[in-house]
C-alpha cells in the first residue's frame, strides 16, 4: 500500500527545528520546499498494491535517491547520510530523531 506525505509534520520535524541552517538555493532547501511537486505521489501509484501496511512516502524515497545520485554515494553511505546529516533530514521531510 502506498504511503503518502500528508500536510501534517512529524513531531520534531527537522525543517521546523533546524531548517534555518539549510542554505536557501541549495538542493537540500529545494527538495525540502518542492519534493512533493517534483515527485508527486500519483506518479508512483502503480508501484503499490491496495492492501497492506502503508509504505514510506515515495516523495521521501525519491528525494533520498536524488541526493544519493548527486553526491555519488554508495547505499551504505547514503543510509548514513539520511541517519546523521540534518540537511538530508530536512530535504526528505524527516524528524531529526529518526
pLDDT digits (tens, 9 = 90+) for 5-60: 666 555 556 666 666 777 788 999 899 889 889 998 888 888 777 777 777 788 88
**Is 44 part of any domain?**
yes
DSSP state of 22: S
**Is 80 part of any domain?**
yes
pLDDT value at 87 more than 70: yes
Residue 53's pLDDT is 75
**Is 65 part of any domain?**
yes
Q: What angle do CA 57, 36, 98 make, to 5 degrees?
A: 45
CA 10 to chain centre: 12
Q: Domains in the chain: how many in total?
A: 1
CA 87 to chain centre: 10
**Is 1 part of any domain?**
no
Range of the domain at 67: 14-92
* Global confidence as pTM: 0.75
CA distance 24 to 30: 8
How many angstroms separate the Cα of 50 from the Cα of each of 45, 55, 64, 70? 9, 11, 24, 32
**Is 4 part of any domain?**
no
Amino acid at each position: 500500500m502506498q504511503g503518502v506525505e500528508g500536510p501534517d509534520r512529524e513531531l520534531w520535524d527537522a525543517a521546523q527545528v533546524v531548517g534555518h541552517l539549510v542554505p536557501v538555493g541549495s538542493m537540500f532547501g529545494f527538495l525540502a520546499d518542492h519534493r512533493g511537486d517534483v515527485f508527486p505521489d500519483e506518479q508512483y501509484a502503480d508501484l503499490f498494491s491496495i492492501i497492506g501496511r502503508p509504505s514510506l512516502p515515495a516523495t521521501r524515497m525519491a528525494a533520498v535517491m536524488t541526493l544519493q545520485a548527486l553526491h555519488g554515494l554508495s547505499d551504505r553511505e547514503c543510509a548514513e547520510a539520511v541517519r546523521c546529516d540534518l540537511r538530508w533530514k530536512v530535504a526528505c521531510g524527516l524528524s531529526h530523531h529518526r
